[in-house]
Amino acid sequence: MNSPIRVTVWGENHHENSERDRAGMAERYPEGMHGAIASGLRSLLGDQVEVRTATLDQPEHGLTEEVLGSTDVLTWWGHARHADVDDAVVARVHQRVLGGMGLLALHSAHFSKIFKVLMGTGCTLAWRNSADTELVWNVSPGHPITQGVPQPIVIDEQEMYGEFFDIPAPDEQVFLSTFTGGEVFRSGCTWRRGLGKVFYFSPGDQEYPVYHHPDIQRVLANAVVWARPEVSEFVPPPVVNMAPPVLVGGTLAATQPPADAR
């Protein structure tokens, strides 16, 4: 476990370049949101990670077989252009997660193809954009992802995401968020899928500088370490024909189990 974690930070890179948002983005995120996320990971994790970025506009969205083949943890931010992500790339990322790669799905990635495929649900939610204060509460204080942040994390201004959030019951509920309007959201959730780990974390938005928030950066850094694969090499789980039985000669006993066995 001593080699660096190879992280690929994927960004849609749309708001950064769209006519409507370009000016504000340049102020909040001069290196793009993906740049800010990558920067936070590098500065908090140092030698523990090797971080690169990839974006939608690159060939194969920057997620070639070669890139994925050398990625331990992928972070995903998308919003306006989910539909433009090539299904073949989604299938490739999906297989790689099943094979052990960690995935951090961030904020509006709740509607990304890859997250929806992994969840199997609609991933709908309630929302409002009116600069609510978001409080992020730690409900799993023994979990590695929640170490080193205050209770609660305070985000002065943020988009509201609220329940009902149509996701499978998380394997672990890590954070819950509340908003000025009184809403609640399951903002930090983990699931295993195949050999891989998935972390959904909602704080973070293109209109607010949330990815510069030190506590949010800490959570993302913790999550990268947590999501690192446990297995040394990635093999998509095969259908195995178990030719030889492990035990032989087993036949049904004349005597059934005792009637009182529940």
Question: Does residue 175 have a cis peptide bond before it, meaning omega lies within 30 degrees of 0?
Answer: no
User: Can residue 69 be called a binding residue for a copy of itself (CB under 8 A)?
Assistant: no
Considering only 64, 135, 207, 212, the residue that binds a copy of itself (CB under 8 A) is: 135
CB of 156 to a copy of itself, least distance (A): 7
CB of 155 to a copy of itself, least distance (A): 10
Backbone angles phi, psi at 23, to 5 degrees: -65, -50
CA–CA gap between residue 258 and residue 160 (Å, rounded): 58
Instruction: Name the nearest CA neighbour of 150 among 132, 134, 137, 133.
Output: 137
- Would you give the binding string for a copy of itself spanning residues 228-257, x where CB under 8 A is met? -xxx---xxxxxxxxxxxxxxxxxxx-xxx
Q: Tell me, by CB under 8 A, how many residues bind a copy of itself.
A: 87
Considering only 12, 132, 159, 205, the residue that binds a copy of itself (CB under 8 A) is: 132
Instruction: Name the nearest CA neighbour of 188 among 161, 214, 159.
Output: 161
CB of 26 to a copy of itself, least distance (A): 28
CB of 196 to a copy of itself, least distance (A): 6
Considering only 16, 72, 183, 205, the residue that binds a copy of itself (CB under 8 A) is: 183
CB neighbourhood size of 151 (10 A): 11
DSSP for 143-207, written as a single string: SGGGTT--SSEEEEEEEEEESPP--PPPSEEEEEEEETTS-EEEEEEEEEETTEEEEEE----SS
Helix (H) or strand (E) holding 218: helix 214-227
Within positions 82 to 121, which residues make up the interface with a copy of itself, using CB under 8 A? Answer: 98, 100, 117-121
Residues forming a β-bridge with 190: 172, 199
CA–CA gap between residue 212 and residue 87 (Å, rounded): 31
Instruction: Name the nearest CA neighbour of 36 among 208, 254, 223.
Output: 208
Q: SS3 for 64?
A: coil
CA–CA gap between residue 67 and residue 52 (Å, rounded): 10
Which lies closer to a copy of itself via its Cβ, residue 122 or residue 214?
Answer: 122
Which lies closer to a copy of itself via its Cβ, residue 162 or residue 203?
Answer: 162
Considering only 128, 207, 212, 215, the residue that binds a copy of itself (CB under 8 A) is: 128
- Would you give the binding string for a copy of itself spanning residues 143-182, x where CB under 8 A is met? xx--x--xxx-x-x---x-xxxxx-xx-xxx--xxx-xxx
Per the CB < 8 A criterion, the answer to whether 193 and 131 are in contact is: no
Within positions 14 to 53, which residues make up the interface with a copy of itself, using CB under 8 A? Answer: none
Which lies closer to a copy of itself via its Cβ, residue 25 or residue 101?
Answer: 101
CB of 142 to a copy of itself, least distance (A): 4
CB of 118 to a copy of itself, least distance (A): 4
The structure tokens listed for 213 are 């928030």
Within positions 211 to 230, which residues make up the interface with a copy of itself, using CB under 8 A? Answer: 229-230
CB of 122 to a copy of itself, least distance (A): 5
